[in-house]
Structure 1
Amino acid sequence: MNTITNGATIEIVATGEQYHTLKDWGLAIGNNDYIGDVEQENYYVDVPGADGFLDFSEAITGRRIFKSRPINVELGGKKPRNDWDIFISDIRNLVEGREIKIIFDNDSGFYWTGRASIQGFDRNREIGTFTLAIPKADPYKYNVADSTEDWLWDPFDFETGIIDEGTEITVKTGETKTYTIVPDQMPFVPTIYVSVLGSAGPKMTANGETYTLMKGKNRFADITVNTEDVVLSFTGTGTLAIRYRRGSL
């Protein structure tokens, strides 16, 4: 990794403002270990008289549960020494305590998210350093082509990224439309957005259950895409879109 030119794009979730650490702030990433180890939720039971422990970590949900992971990005750059106090104050005002998304230049197909903090600012003459920390970042990184929102061509990685297309569906009287969602590394629950509600308002069938869709956002927690394909079938009349997030450790 080239620590002189390596940078990252920071997005303030509340405002949508984006900044590149190198191009906009003149700061390069100085460490390679900025993505910390994931914290997994484990549940062990000590049985008296038995060797070892009983592991119930996946017994309830049937899958692995991850809580969070730390992200610590060491940033540094060169500025006139009298500019640093104002600069670091501006950075703190911008990101301290805010939820951010961060896309690293060397993994531009994915973004991480969490609440940020500025830590350990130090200055030696014209050289200043500090850490952009996300102590409890989401354990998963999400595809920038994530179908819950618009994505940009510039940061998209055509070798590692995945584009989900064809998620807008119009259902007419007497026909059935289906859409298959393929599982990924991270379990997720799809959201159905109904934009046009026909007279025979659309119904959706999944895993043997039928749901009546309302105009706007529809989300059913029992429809989880985990290890097997989930087929959504739509009848009635209306226009809808299917949205979901794909993630990776």
Structure 2
Amino acid sequence: MSTMTNGATITVIATGKSYHTLRDWGLAIGNNNCIGTPVQETFYLDVPGADGFLDYSEALTGRPIFKQRPIEIILGGKMDRRIWNSFISSIRILLHGKRVRIVFDDFPGYYWEGRAEVTEFDRVREIGTFKLSIPQADPYGYSLNDNSTPNWLWNPFDFELGVIDDPIQITLTADSPTAACTIPHSAVPFVVSVVVSEIGETGLKMTVDGDDYLLQKGENRLAELLVGDSDLTLNFSGRGSLCVYFRRRVI
């Protein structure tokens, strides 16, 4: 068993409670291929009289679209064989059918999310194993650190894939009625959210690539606000206060 993949932190989203498979349950991960390949959405058109198929998979978005991915973890440990059944029952009650968030010890900067299943329990004397899986997990891994706070979590920071993004807080006044911010590009696209806390009498307008958007109080989340291969610049005008939020992701 690889010492690099011997544990994971599992958070039950509904309760916010977290458990480490090794420290809290004494269960080690026995497989190294826990994170499966994401399933890509494809659309092929069979044209009569033509060789092969026409591939329209990226026609609408200009980029690959992923639907889901499997997460499968084989967990095993040693305990008194008389309590294994009750232990597995408690794990099923805790996790089976619940939406969970998983952070692997050897991939600490990102979490994976979806609805969990507990299956394939087996025991030989004191040694027991079972599978904890998310058959249709979200296709992306999400950074534990978003740009909402300058107080970064350095222990789980991924120095190879991680990017430090500063908080973006903007206030527009009569003296300063315009402002702009630029979000650096990303190999894996992500959507930006603009949260407006205050709007003045003149309102708030955002301009992106020549298109204007009237902002409403609260969260403004638009599919067009996508950071991809190029930097995204948001231009604001009017009166009010807002924050720009986003979370980077990996495949």
Q: Structure 2 CA distance, aligned partners of 1:214 and 1:54?
A: 41
Moved more, 145-154 or 38-47: 145-154
Closer/same/farther in 2, CA of residues 230 and 5 from structure 1, 3 Å limit:
closer
Aligned to 1:187: 189
1:52 Cα deviation after fit: 1.6
Closer/same/farther in 2, CA of residues 240 and 55 from structure 1, 3 Å limit:
same
1:195 Cα deviation after fit: 2.0
How do 1:1-249 and structure 2 match up within 5 A?
2-3=2-3, 6-147=6-147, 152-175=153-176, 176-249=178-251
> Aligned pair count?
249
Contact between 1:3 and 1:30, CA under 8 Å: does it hold in 2? no
1:122 Cα deviation after fit: 0.9
Gaps of 5+ in 1: none
1:29 Cα deviation after fit: 0.3
Closer/same/farther in 2, CA of residues 41 and 244 from structure 1, 3 Å limit:
same
Give the letter aligned to residue 44 of structure 1: Y
Partner of 2:74, secondary structure, is strand
Partner of 1:132, secondary structure, is strand
Give the letter aligned to residue 136 of structure 1: Q
Q: Structure 2 CA distance, aligned partners of 1:4 and 1:232?
A: 41
Moved more, 1-10 or 189-198: 1-10
Percent identical across equivalent pairs? 54
Q: Structure 2 CA distance, aligned partners of 1:194 and 1:15?
A: 28
Closer/same/farther in 2, CA of residues 141 and 46 from structure 1, 3 Å limit:
same
Q: Structure 2 CA distance, aligned partners of 1:187 and 1:142?
A: 12
Contact between 1:144 and 1:161, CA under 8 Å: does it hold in 2? no
State the TM-score, normalized to the length of structure 1. 0.92
Gaps of 5+ in 2: none
Contact between 2:74 and 2:132, CA under 8 Å: does it hold in 1? yes
1:204 Cα deviation after fit: 1.5
Closer/same/farther in 2, CA of residues 210 and 154 from structure 1, 3 Å limit:
same
Give the letter aligned to residue 165 of structure 1: D
Partner of 1:33, secondary structure, is coil
Give the letter aligned to residue 126 of structure 1: E
Contact between 2:196 and 2:216, CA under 8 Å: does it hold in 1? yes
Closer/same/farther in 2, CA of residues 162 and 60 from structure 1, 3 Å limit:
same
Q: Structure 1 CA distance, aligned partners of 2:213 and 2:4?
A: 54
Q: Structure 2 CA distance, aligned partners of 1:140 and 1:25?
A: 27
Q: Structure 1 CA distance, aligned partners of 2:147 and 2:16?
A: 17
Q: Greater share of strand residues, 1 or 2?
A: 2
Q: Structure 1 CA distance, aligned partners of 2:148 and 2:96?
A: 26
